[in-house]
């Protein structure tokens, strides 16, 4: 048999392993790919032969055998202007890439405009088996790319679909309703009520509706809502209506709500300016915003108009993005821990791929790994195939 070869002119191959182990190329190939039908004694000889000849399977050979590209594609599907102004996206990209790299894959990031031509480009790539798995970060409910992944049984994990959506794949989200409820309770009462990630706890309070007003430090809130066709916005608005309906039953129906066309600071500034012009602002003691960038815009306009925050009007956001600490006073907000989201999404899709490889099925069960999401130490799977990440109330000076 051949001696161990380490010279620069010959890289050990699977044929060298087969010769050293005294078996066939096909048997070694089955062993390397984890297939059944290799006797224990033969497997032991093959393992020793691998060490003897210093054999390392090439990435190309493994990919060819398993029909794998070893690419994970992160698709960010939104308008360019929304991508530019969303401070969470870079955290998603960075954390997903860190997890993909650690697991031995390479991540590529694709940004797709929300139009027919861009979607067609993505569909061509996906349909051609461009990557082994896909991470979809969408800013649109009922994203039109979802049916493509469903039809082709791709390994996919979705983020940003909204708490009440039921996507055909594993999704990663937060309980927007419970998190916003806790925030609003704090702004109005000054008290915190832990939700523990359970939406049912959002209704917990130390006061009853009948005498809640006596316990409140603020009783005249307004709300700036994000675009209702985007994930999270409907749930956060519903939380505002539910909590104010409970704590302010006599005035909840008349509380001002501004429906912003986007998440930009300019939209919130326009809302505050309009309320100032029609006299609404003089009657408000709090403005609750659907995200941090809206809250920053509200504070900037309040300052321009001569209002003190939080002395005259308290302001809160949602996300705990970089925008939350870019303004004075810094924002009271909800931390979605977006740095976890990309990490968890990448881990879930790679688990799907590995499960399929173990079962000898290139596509396999794309939902199989949702039940193992708890292994990430920062997620737990729900029966709806949605992995809910924990949130935290972050109390700062603005409210």
How many structural domains is the chain composed of? 3
pTM, to two decimals: 0.72
Residue 271 CB neighbours (<10 A): 27
Residue 35: CATH number of its domain: 1.10.260.40
- Between the CA of residue 30 and those of 140, 289, 359, what are the distances in Å? 45, 58, 14
Exposure string over 9-39, b if 16+ CB within 10 A, otherwise e: eeebbbebbbbbbebeeebbbbbbeeeeebe
Query: Does some domain include residue 159?
Result: yes
Domain identity same for 101 and 144: yes
**Domain boundary residue among 41, 66, 91?**
66
Task: Give residue for tokens 């505002």.
Answer: 240
Domain identity same for 164 and 97: yes
Closest CA to 169 of 336, 34, 364, 5: 364
Domain identity same for 349 and 269: no
Query: Does some domain include residue 91?
Result: yes
Query: Does some domain include residue 138?
Result: yes
Give the list of residues 6+ apart from residue 100 with CB closer than 8 angstroms, or none: 72, 106, 107, 346, 350
Domain identity same for 39 and 132: no
Query: Does some domain include residue 355?
Result: yes
Domain identity same for 43 and 114: no
Instruction: In whole angstroms, give the CA distance from residue 126 to residue 146.
Output: 12
Domain identity same for 129 and 145: yes
Residue 290: CATH number of its domain: 3.40.50.2300
Domain identity same for 245 and 273: yes
Domain identity same for 21 and 48: yes
Tens digit of pLDDT at every position of the chain (399 positions): 444 444 445 678 888 898 999 998 888 877 876 666 788 899 899 989 988 998 876 554 555 455 677 899 999 887 777 777 777 888 899 999 999 999 988 999 988 776 777 777 877 777 777 888 999 887 766 677 777 777 666 788 988 655 445 667 788 989 999 999 999 999 999 988 654 443 333 333 333 334 444 489 999 999 999 998 887 899 999 999 999 999 999 998 999 999 999 999 999 999 999 999 999 999 999 999 999 999 999 999 999 999 999 999 999 999 999 999 999 999 999 999 988 999 999 999 999 898 887 776 555 444 544 444 444 444 443 334 888 899 999 999 999
Instruction: In whole angstroms, give the CA distance from residue 71 to residue 64.
Output: 13
Q: How far is CA 122 from the centre of its chain?
A: 20
Range of the domain at 346: 71-174+340-359+383-389
Domain identity same for 181 and 248: yes
Domain identity same for 98 and 226: no
Query: Does some domain include residue 372?
Result: no
Domain identity same for 91 and 129: yes
Query: Does some domain include residue 396?
Result: no
Angle, CA of 158, 364 and 122, to the nearest 5°? 45
Domain identity same for 185 and 285: yes
Query: Does some domain include residue 314?
Result: yes
Query: Does some domain include residue 395?
Result: no
């Amino acid at each position: 048999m051949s001696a161990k070869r380490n010279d620069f002119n010959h890289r050990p191959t699977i044929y060298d392993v087969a010769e050293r182990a005294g078996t066939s190329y096909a048997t070694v190939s089955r062993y390397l790919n984890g297939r059944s039908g290799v006797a224990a004694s033969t497997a032991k000889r093959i393992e020793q032969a691998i060490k003897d000849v210093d054999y390392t399977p090439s990435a190309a050979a493994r990919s060819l055998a398993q029909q794998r590209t070893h690419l994970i594609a992160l698709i960010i599907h939104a308008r360019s202007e929304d991508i530019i102004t969303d401070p969470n996206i870079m955290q998603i990209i960075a954390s997903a890439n860190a997890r993909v790299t650690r697991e031995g894959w390479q991540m590529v990031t694709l940004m797709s405009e929300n139009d027919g031509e861009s979607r067609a480009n993505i569909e061509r790539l996906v349909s051609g088996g461009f990557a082994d798995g896909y991470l979809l970060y969408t800013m649109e409910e009922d994203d039109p790319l979802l049916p493509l992944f469903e039809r082709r049984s791709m390994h996919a994990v979705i983020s940003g679909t909204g708490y009440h959506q039921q996507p055909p794949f594993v999704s990663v989200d937060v309980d927007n309703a419970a998190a916003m409820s806790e925030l609003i309770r704090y702004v109005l009462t000054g008290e915190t009520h832990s939700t523990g990630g359970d939406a049912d706890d959002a209704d917990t309070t130390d006061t009853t509706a009948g005498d809640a007003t006596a316990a409140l430090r603020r009783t005249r809130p307004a709300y700036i809502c994000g675009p209702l066709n985007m994930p999270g916005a409907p749930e956060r608005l519903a939380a505002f209506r539910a909590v104010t309906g409970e704590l302010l039953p006599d005035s909840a129906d008349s509380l001002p709500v501004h429906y912003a066309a986007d998440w930009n600071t300019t939209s919130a500034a326009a809302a505050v300016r309009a309320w100032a012009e029609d006299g609404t602002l003089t009657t408000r003691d709090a403005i609750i915003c659907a995200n941090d960038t809206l809250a920053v815009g509200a504070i900037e306009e309040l300052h321009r108009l001569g209002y003190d925050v939080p002395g005259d009007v308290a302001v809160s956001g949602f996300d705990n993005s970089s925008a939350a600490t870019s303004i004075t006073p810094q924002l009271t907000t909800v931390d979605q821990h977006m740095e976890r989201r990309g990490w968890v999404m990448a881990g879930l899709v790679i688990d799907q791929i590995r499960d399929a490889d173990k079962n000898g099925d290139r596509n396999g069960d794309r939902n199989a790994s949702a039940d193992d999401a708890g292994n990430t130490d920062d997620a737990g799977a729900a029966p709806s195939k949605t992995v809910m990440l924990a949130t935290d109330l972050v109390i700062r000076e603005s409210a």
